[in-house]
Homo-oligomer: A and B are copies of this chain.
Amino acid sequence: MKLYNYFRSSASFRVRIALELKGLAYDYVPVHLVKGEHKQPQYAAMSPSLLVPALQLDTGEHLGQSMAIIEYLDETHPQPPLLPRDPLARARVRALAQLIACEIHPLNNLRVLKYLVRDLKVEEEAKNAWYRHWVRDGLEAFERELAQLPAGTYCFGDTPTLADCCLVPQIFNGRRFDVDFDGLPRTMAAFDACMALPAFQRAQPSSCPDAEG
């Protein structure tokens, strides 16, 4: 398999974690978002939505959207599972993942920040406040959801799931913008537990071949 991705992309990071947790080997193909490499014809032919990551299977097929890719990996390489077996538990894990992937991250990705600055003439400090607002607001909601679940090492239970694959990159992104993580005990305990695992360490931006300072 080949993963077309960018070291700093949160959605790319999610898929790298899943690949590492499952022990699946892959070729890392860097796509430099800031240089606009995702908009070049060669990449567009593979990912018409011009988004990273894209996973190229050994059959030549391409898959997009990080959560869809992770569920595909989980269905085709079931061990270790990234979703529980019980439908209600699966719904809880998916809801946690979507709370990050549908409520927090979309507001803060590169193209949105660019629109704020270029089209809405938002100043640097107001842009950063926007960023921090949505991360903090979203993580507070995440924490309240976790508080209603049984205690566990990770977001849901005692093994990492799709929810952890989404949480960890969001915390990394939040750190870059100095988000305040105080008062989020369950969330940050899950993050710390994840980062103690080699799979998460190997997937992190600073471990990527295209990492920049």
Which residue numbers of A lie inside 8 Å of B, CB to CB?
48-51, 57, 61, 63-65, 67-69, 71-72, 75-76, 87-88, 90-92, 94-95, 98-99, 101-103, 105-107, 112, 115-116, 119-120, 122, 126, 129-130, 133, 141-142, 144-145, 147-148
Contacts and interface: CB of A to CB of B under 8 A. Distances in A.
Contacts of A144: 48-49
A95 B64 contact: yes
A101 B99 contact: no
| Overall SS of chain A's interface | helix
B91 A68 contact: yes
A109 to B, nearest CB: 9
Given A90-B71, A120-B130, A99 B145 contact: no
